[in-house]
Structure 1
Amino acid sequence: MFRASGRRVLARSAIALGASAAATAACSAPAAGKGAPLAAPPAPDDAELSADELRTIGIFERSCESVVFITNLRVASGPSWFAAPPVLDSPSVPTGSGSGIVWDARGHIVTNYHVVAGATELTVTMPSQDVYPATVVGTDVDRDIAVLRVRPKQPLRPLPLGSSARLRVGQTTLAIGCPFGLDFTLTTGVISGLGRDIMGRTGRPIVGCIQTDAALNPGSSGGPLLDSSGRVIGVNVAILTMSGSSAGVGISMPIDAVRQSVDQIISRGHVLRPSLGVRMAPDDYVQRRLGVAGVLVFEVQPRSGADVAGMRGTSRTRSGELKLGDLIVRAGGKDVKTSLDLFKAMEAVQVGDSVELEVVELDDSDGLGLREKGRRKLSVKAGGLAAKL
């Protein structure tokens, strides 16, 4: 999430702080012959704070050392971050920056792919202000996830991971990150919505995201979204806005999906995404030109699970007429009306699993219009497709 240069913001902050300090000094300086200036009021002790405040402070103080500031020394440029429907992209900044999460004691850092995309050099700044060079272990571009590795002087303390499986709207959320280059900032809110889908940079949807009103801003990307116990329930990935700053609609990748990707990246350096072995026709063509609901199979890859199961792709007859392929209408017991529905059904599938599909054979050979010729049920073994650009 980038919009304004962190350097410029910091410069403005420094100017503002300098002016404030000067004003404070002018106000507090004793007049000639007068006594010493009044002392600043002491910070409130625990007895003056509410239980909710103490809990929030405790979570921030425990979690802060496990959140890092990532600097990408590539000069980044790109179109504006958000359009309708929401699309992930990287705006123009002189220097890229974002946030990251300490994943384990060995030095693995999890962040967003768009934070590190195209990097020529990456550095990670710890809350202690120690700065380490970082290398990219691997990425899951479809989910906008990247895993970095640093070599710290001391073992790092990872954040505890929660689960995103049973979240409820209204739960308290806490977001820690480095918006606008301001290090280690806390914002709070609630879960405003669940099951949000946004389009990833590869054109594949990122499904099941968490919506929160905890303020997220440029530079918050890659930071953790925590629950009221301080456990990570999401990785902050996007804001939906017309102005470039927080409008109370922040989007986080659910931690269960993040964990699937990160575990694969750390173990093998890349992510294998379950695949049926088909290419799909665009939804617009199926819905507008054909007037049907479902996913039309355009091409079946040889020796894939779909090929072995007998799925049919779209082809041409000897006379040049178009023969439509199978139309997928159910997958894993769920109705499929668009490619997004099929992507959602595949989210719960692992490589090697069998996916139960229902397909429709379409026919218009009699010239009387498109009609359903028959239905078949297929069991397709999901293969592995490397998730990379």
Structure 2
Amino acid sequence: MSHPDTHESSAQSPHAEPLSLTAVSDQLASAVEHAALSVVAVHARERLASTGVHWRDGLIVTTDATVRREQNITITIPDGRRVAATLVGRDAASDLAVLRVAAGVSFAPATIGDPTTLRPGHLAMAVARLDDSGPRVSFGAISTIGHAWRTWKGGEYSRRIQSGFALYPGFGGSPLVDAAGRVHGINSGGLSQQLATTIPADTVERVVSQLVATGYVPRGWLGAALQAVRVGESAKVAAQGREGGLLIIGVAESGPAATSGLLVGDIVLALDGAAVHEPHDVLDVLQHMAPGRAVSFDLLRGGVFVRVIVTIGERPSGHDDRRSRRGAR
């Protein structure tokens, strides 16, 4: 009978030597040890700390939902010391916040991995730190790798990464760590109630760069509430054959829609010639559009085709700050 440590699995490469359970366990422990060198506890709320990662250049990344105060923030670094940190910027839409560690404090930055190399079934861990007692770990496997997606708050992620490990209290802001100790993203407790959801490393890098540059992430803003509607048969000629669009059901006072002449009751058919069918079609356009850009809106107004030029504004500060504390681990 073969010893369990030497039994070859049919799933293994025929050219790979099988690893014993002990060797796999030791490898994972080494990966945690390496990743933990860049993991900190973030003290920015009452009672329970959250987790952060030394991303680069003295910058600590954590989740926005776990930063409850913007002053008197401290972090516990891997050697157990508690030091001061300042808030660089935050973005509720992507659930990311960036802190800067106090001058003169030095410790290892994370080894950043490539999220495109992850596959369902890969072993993965969340590595947290809540105090000076050392790292804490939640273990599982990658469950889902999906396409680019938008959160309910409007944040845009390069891919969907979900894992089967639990995000315990304080694990918000923890890194997703692979078996080699590489960090592939930041775990957020507020994006899903079923599986741990990770903000991919490339998305984190993009948001960090924007927060360092400006303190916030500028996003285009229309200032209108929209809902999908169908165009009646009698209006299809005026609608240039389109069967549906977006009914404007509200406009923000002094917002871009109002100041550009959009009215409640208008049906938006297209933006710069591209048809729109659902509110997220407009969000997709605004997400990548710099404030100040002029956009052509094709409308159906009172059964008549109208074209209005709208100057896109910048989303007001705090407009997307309706943070859900549910799941802010």
**TM-score, length basis structure 1:** 0.59
| 1:270-309 pair list within 5 angstroms | 270-273=216-219, 275=220, 277-283=221-227, 286-287=228-229, 294-296=245-247, 299=251
Secondary structure in structure 2 of the residue aligned to 1:62:
helix
- Name the counterpart of 1:215: 166
Is 2:299 aligned against 1:361?
Answer: yes
Say what the alpha-carbon RMSD is for the aligned residues: 4.1
Q: Offset at 1:142?
A: 1.8
Q: Comparing both chains, which one has the higher relative contact order based on Cα–Cα distances under 8 Å and sequence gaps of 6 or more?
A: 2
Distance of aligned partners of 1:364 and 1:266 in 2 relative to their CA distance in 1, 3 Å threshold? closer
Q: Offset at 1:381?
A: 8.4
Is 2:175 aligned against 1:175?
Answer: no
Matched residue count: 286
- Name the counterpart of 1:62: 34
Is 2:256 aligned against 1:314?
Answer: no
- Name the counterpart of 1:257: 203
- Name the counterpart of 2:282: 342
8 Å CA contact retained: 1:294, 1:336 = yes
Cα distance in 1, alignment partners of residues 231 and 40 from structure 2: 50
Cα deviations across residues 23-54 of structure 1 (Å, max 9, x unaligned)? xxxxxxxxxxxxxxxxxxxxxxxx97544333
- Larger helix proportion of the pair: 1
Secondary structure in structure 1 of the residue aligned to 2:37:
helix
Is 2:188 aligned against 1:237?
Answer: yes
Q: Offset at 1:356?
A: 8.6
Distance of aligned partners of 1:287 and 1:352 in 2 relative to their CA distance in 1, 3 Å threshold? closer
Secondary structure in structure 1 of the residue aligned to 2:205:
helix
Secondary structure in structure 2 of the residue aligned to 1:142:
coil
- Name the counterpart of 2:69: 118
| 1:181-196 pair list within 5 angstroms | 183-193=134-144, 194-195=146-147
- Name the counterpart of 1:109: 60
8 Å CA contact retained: 1:137, 1:269 = yes
Is 2:8 aligned against 1:52?
Answer: no
Residue type matched to 1:97 in 2?
Answer: A
Secondary structure in structure 2 of the residue aligned to 1:143:
coil
Residue type matched to 2:290 in 1?
Answer: V
8 Å CA contact retained: 1:295, 1:337 = yes
Is 2:265 aligned against 1:326?
Answer: no
8 Å CA contact retained: 1:96, 1:115 = no
Q: Offset at 1:278?
A: 1.8
Q: Offset at 1:69?
A: 0.6
8 Å CA contact retained: 1:67, 1:176 = yes
Cα distance in 2, alignment partners of residues 355 and 161 from structure 1: 38
Cα deviations across residues 68-93 of structure 1 (Å, max 9, x unaligned)? 01112x54xxxxxxxxxxxxxxxxxx
8 Å CA contact retained: 2:222, 2:313 = no
8 Å CA contact retained: 2:85, 2:101 = yes
Please tell me whether Structure 1 or Structure 2 has the larger radius of gyration of its CA atoms. 1
- Name the counterpart of 2:15: none
8 Å CA contact retained: 1:278, 1:301 = no
- Name the counterpart of 1:84: none
Q: Offset at 1:146?
A: 1.0
Q: Offset at 1:139?
A: 1.0
Is 2:212 aligned against 1:266?
Answer: yes
Cα deviations across residues 2-27 of structure 1 (Å, max 9, x unaligned)? xxxxxxxxxxxxxxxxxxxxxxxxxx
Distance of aligned partners of 1:363 and 1:351 in 2 relative to their CA distance in 1, 3 Å threshold? closer
Distance of aligned partners of 1:96 and 1:260 in 2 relative to their CA distance in 1, 3 Å threshold? same
Is 2:79 aligned against 1:128?
Answer: yes
Secondary structure in structure 1 of the residue aligned to 2:107:
coil
Distance of aligned partners of 1:344 and 1:326 in 2 relative to their CA distance in 1, 3 Å threshold? closer
Distance of aligned partners of 1:115 and 1:302 in 2 relative to their CA distance in 1, 3 Å threshold? closer
Q: Offset at 1:191?
A: 2.3
Distance of aligned partners of 1:186 and 1:152 in 2 relative to their CA distance in 1, 3 Å threshold? farther
Unaligned runs of 5+ in 2: 1-18, 233-242, 322-329
8 Å CA contact retained: 1:165, 1:256 = no
8 Å CA contact retained: 1:112, 1:222 = yes
1:97 to 49, 53, 57: 49
Of 263-272 and 176-185, the range deviating more from structure 2: 176-185
Identity across aligned pairs (percent)?
Answer: 25
Q: Offset at 1:213?
A: 0.8
Residue type matched to 2:56 in 1?
Answer: D
Of 204-213 and 178-187, the range deviating more from structure 2: 178-187
Secondary structure in structure 1 of the residue aligned to 2:56:
coil
Is 2:303 aligned against 1:351?
Answer: no
